[in-house]
Chain A
Amino acid sequence: MPNGTVKSATKVGSTIYAVGTWVNTGAANRTDAVLWTIDGANPPAQTALPDFCTTGNAGCTQSLGLAAEAITPDAAYIASGARSLGNNSTGNGPTAVRVARSPLANLNLTPLPTFTTANNPKFARTISNDGSIIYGQVGLDLGGGVFRNRAVRFDANTGAVTQLFPQPANDGAGFSNLQAIVPRGASADGSVAVGSTFTSGPLVDSRAFRYVHGTGTSLIPLLAGGTFNAAFAISGNGNIVALNGDTTAFPDSTREFYTFTASAPAGSQISRLGLPNSGMAPTGGGGITNDGAVVVANSVGSCGPTPCNPDRYTYFHNSHGWFNLTQALWRGGAPLDGWRNLQSLGMNGEGTLVWGSALHWNGSGFVPEAFVAEFPANYLRDFNPQPGPVTDTRIVGAWAVNDNGISDPANPDGVIAFMADGTFYLLGDSFERGFYSFNGSCVAFTTLVDTNGSQGLSDDDGKCNPISIAGDTLTTPDGEQLQRITGQPGSLVGAWVHGDPT
């Protein structure tokens, strides 16, 4: 699905329905809200959602930012943005719509009755399982040319519209100036939703909130010493929220992932998940299973000079720790050659579908492409690869890595140490460790700790990369030859591990 991004997906019978956004290169690169039907054919059938506008209407000039954000589990309804009759006065923003999938039909959302016509629904972020409740945002005209997004709840059955933060009590104060609903950030029944409020501008000033219909909105606690947090997923029952936030408990005062369980006793509602790659920063997107056992989250690296596109990894967390999503895909036999920079934008409640966008090699370069990955039931929940003794031990030892590509065992820039029990360490100006397997012809890594972003061995985590070993020379897939670090008997030269490596 080139040039696309899947924002929500569900499987009905043997068909996966996915919705998202697609760069329509044939229409001046405008973005369209689209529906993909995946039934085994390749490529999947792609259908643009209707514009719901008439020629000449200001709304039809909308070219960017359109996306179908969520689809109900039965694939009956879609929460989407659209070029629509009800577009706002500037003609630059999309209009939130509720769409019936078959046949495609706009079940439009009415403007907020208490707002002016300029305050039309703007973004539809999530939809309840029965398709009756949509959470989204409206652009509130505060007058004087000032517009602020407001988080709202639409009830399609009653037509009722509710602001999640009482208006105008928090305007201009605290964290209620700007509000956003997390994509697919509502419980299955639509009674609970999560989002973020911002003072203005910088996301680092965000505070995650949790809204319970009929009860109200509360801010989700920060990590110890933290100043901000951001929610990115909520469990089906609305009880568990996945977030990231900063904390002074973290060694470098950076961010880490955590969950908030609303029903847990005070003081034990927060469960820290740590950070899968301290060389990357948590970023948006991700998901959580209904039981909270699996959290999918994204990390982004850094690059420079700008403009540049930093590398991105998607990780998932289960009771055994963090794992790169590519690890699960490679081990599951997914044809992942040519794919990189996976970014998950969601996961279904059962943990069997993960979707998002990635870069895919098209023969001449990497281009954005949407993906949906399907896993067996509980595959991600139970995923826990274990190291095993290496059957071909020629790889065991320490290998010199040099930045100039010429391995110098006397003066390396870095060292890769492979141990006989199937664990590895990468030491240099950064650090990686994890498991590896070597069958004599290819080596595959399972990176468990990664401090160097996308550098090192973690790229293509899980892929079995062809290598060859002849004596004390290891030849990598790109032809680089690493030399083994060896010394005379009784010498300190070589690699050592504290304790017993077996």
Chain B
Amino acid sequence: MTSSGKFFFAEDGDPATAPGGKDGVEVGTATWDPNAGTLTNVTISIDTNGEWGLSDSFGTITASVTADDLGLVFGDSSGTGLGTRIVDPATVVPTVTDGAVQGTLNTPLTPFPMSATYAASFSLSGGPAWLSIDSSTGVITGTPTGAGFFPVMVTATNRFGASGSGTFNLTVASVTAVGGGSSVPVAPEVPLDTPPLQMTFDSVQTGGSATVAVVDPESAPELPANFQIAVAEGGTPLYYDISTTATFSGSVTLCFSYAGVNLGGDTPRLLHYDGAAGQWVDITTSVDSTTQTLCGATTSFSPFAIAKSPTPFVTVSGFYAPVSPLAGFVNSAKAGSTVPLKFEVFVNGVEKTETSGLGFAVTPVACTLSPEDPVDYVTQDSTNLRYDTEKGQFILNWKTPKTVGCFIARVSGANGPLLSATFKLK
């Protein structure tokens, strides 16, 4: 049938009973009502096929296109038949629209209908055994019996045998422990094919589930300069939405594996978008290049981003005794004595043992009334910096000035101060 309602109808005869007998054509016009599924106002201008065809139908002629757009159900009061669209098979290969659902352990999923063009049947591959799909409707159902992230392939096949595939991402969250601090592995594995996100709650008041989902990068706020979003092996930008139904207090430490993420020589960072401040905040607390684990701490959720930065992630530990680095404390010592400043430096989670790149500076400051903490022992060495391999720490022997007064002693790295402590020399 054409768009103007002209139709051509042909029959080919059965050579066994009527050689060439019913071969013939009908040509005419008709009105098709897609809603009613009827052909009306049929007129015939050519009829060479005898008593067959639309010219000899019984009652109302019905004609409805099937849901896959490739089939036709037609008939009249004498019966119905099935037709198939004559179309280039290459143009009707099914296209499956990806879908995603978050489920809860031991709770039936809300039936999810997969959408696909030209599909005559659906099938699943790669999913858990409890997940199933209606082969004719494409509706996915199941009751999760295990937590995790399940990227399931859904294949739609058309009536010609051609198929196309899409992904159905099913996330089934685990349930947090009730009570105090708890460490909870949270599905899904993020990034894909890496250990799951580890959430460590300082304190949980009411247990619940926690979920993590990939965020559309188009909806994510722009990262600050010096940061670029990291991209998973599959090409997914690593923006996440993390949520929990649990109530908690304190902070939550989030630890992601960044195995498989191409950092291009940069350092991974965990950023959290502070909605109130309208900016991303680097909440990285540790980078373990050995286990390829990135951790950060937050008190609120979402969104988060795993970014990469050309600036190494440096953490320090110290000053150790006999010096206290705590703010508000003043270390007191005799002017001219030598004070040992003991500390450790970690670059991208690896302890630094070379003194290169480390600097030391002393700045006079005004003395304020502060609690004093005498340095327990001092020496008379000259100022020098070394890494004590036996103790596994740097020791900077600082030959203090002979001038009484207050000073801030700072150890710096390539990108700025690392540690400082206040001294009152007497």
Contact = CB atoms under 8 A, between A and B. Distances in A.
Nearest to B8: A427
Contacts of B65: 490-492
A351 interface: no
B86 A427 contact: no
Nearest to A448: B12
A241 interface: no
B20 A275 contact: yes
A494 B88 CA distance: 12
B85 A496 contact: yes
Interface in B43-99: 46, 48-50, 63, 65, 69, 72, 81-90
Interface in A464-502: 485, 487, 489-502
Contacts of A489: 69, 117
Contact of B23 (A397, A410, A451, A487): A451
Nearest to A429: B46
B27 A451 contact: no
B75 to A, nearest CB: 11
Contacts of A494: 1, 85-87
A428 B27 contact: yes
B86 A396 contact: yes
A9 interface: no
B225 interface: no
A417 interface: yes
Given A492-B72, A498-B81, A400 B48 contact: no
Contacts, number: 134
B32 interface: yes
B2 interface: yes
Nearest to A275: B20
Interface stretch (A57-65, A303-311, A376-384, A418-426): A418-426
B3 interface: yes
Interface string B103-144: 000000000000001000000000000000000000000000
A489 B49 CA distance: 30
B24 A451 contact: yes
B21 interface: yes
B2 A485 contact: yes
B19 A275 contact: yes
Nearest to A420: B89
Contacts of A93: none
B86 A321 contact: no
Given A274-B15, A499-B82, A502-B160, A492 B25 contact: no
Given A431-B25, A499-B84, A415 B8 contact: yes
B402 interface: no
Contacts of B86: 396-398, 417-420, 494-497, 501
A353 B90 CA distance: 44
A251 B21 CA distance: 5
Contacts of B160: 420, 502
Interface in B16-39: 18-25, 27, 32, 34
B6 interface: yes
A494 B65 CA distance: 11
A80 interface: no
B214 interface: no
Interface string A398-412: 101000000001111
A431 B19 contact: no
A314 interface: no
A395 B90 CA distance: 11
Contacts of B24: 431, 451
A420 B9 CA distance: 19
B25 A427 contact: yes
A429 B27 contact: yes
B10 interface: yes
Give the secondary structure class of B's interface: loop
B218 to A, nearest CB: 28
A278 B23 contact: yes
Contacts of B389: none
A397 B69 contact: no
Output the residue of A398, A429, A433, A496 with the most chain B CB within 10 A: A496
Given A411-B6, A427-B8, A485-B2, A492 B34 contact: yes
Contacts of A118: none
A394 interface: yes
A494 B32 CA distance: 13
A321 B15 contact: yes
B95 to A, nearest CB: 12
B8 A414 contact: yes
B159 interface: yes
A219 interface: no
Contacts of A496: 72, 83-86
B18 A251 contact: yes
Contacts of B363: none
B176 to A, nearest CB: 47
Contacts of B46: 428-429
B6 A492 contact: no
A412 B88 contact: no
B291 interface: no
A393 B89 contact: yes
Contact of B34 (A275, A398, A431, A490): A490
Contacts of B15: 274, 321
Contacts of B10: 425, 427, 431, 433
B21 A250 contact: yes
A203 B90 CA distance: 55
A493 B81 contact: no
A272 interface: yes
A492 to B, nearest CB: 5
A460 interface: no
A429 B2 contact: no
B4 interface: yes
Nearest to B2: A410
Contact of B4 (A411, A419, A495, A499): A411
A219 B87 CA distance: 54
A54 interface: no
A433 B197 CA distance: 64
Interface string A170-206: 0000000000000000000000000000000000000
A441 interface: no
Contacts of A321: 15
Nearest to A256: B19
B4 A498 contact: no
Nearest to A427: B8
B2 to A, nearest CB: 5
Interface in A101-121: none
Given A394-B90, A417-B86, A449-B12, A251 B34 contact: no
Interface string B379-399: 000000000000000000000
Contacts of A256: 19
Nearest to B10: A427
A227 interface: no
A251 B84 contact: no
B67 to A, nearest CB: 9
Output the residue of B23, B50, B63 with the most chain A CB within 10 A: B23
Contacts of B3: 409-410, 487, 493
B293 to A, nearest CB: 49
Contacts of A501: 84, 86
A439 interface: no
B303 to A, nearest CB: 37
Given A411-B4, A431-B48, A496-B84, 13 more contacts: A251-B20, A273-B19, A274-B15, A393-B90, A396-B87, A397-B87, A430-B25, A433-B23, A492-B34, A494-B1, A494-B86, A498-B81, A499-B82
List the 7 shortest-distance A-B pairs measured between CB atoms, nearest first: A274-B19, A427-B8, A495-B86, A496-B83, A396-B88, A251-B21, A410-B4
Interface of B: 1-4, 6, 8-10, 12-13, 15, 18-25, 27, 32, 34, 46, 48-50, 63, 65, 69, 72, 81-90, 117, 159-161
16 contacts: A274-B15, A278-B20, A278-B23, A321-B15, A398-B86, A410-B4, A411-B2, A412-B6, A425-B10, A427-B10, A429-B48, A431-B24, A449-B23, A489-B69, A492-B34, A497-B83
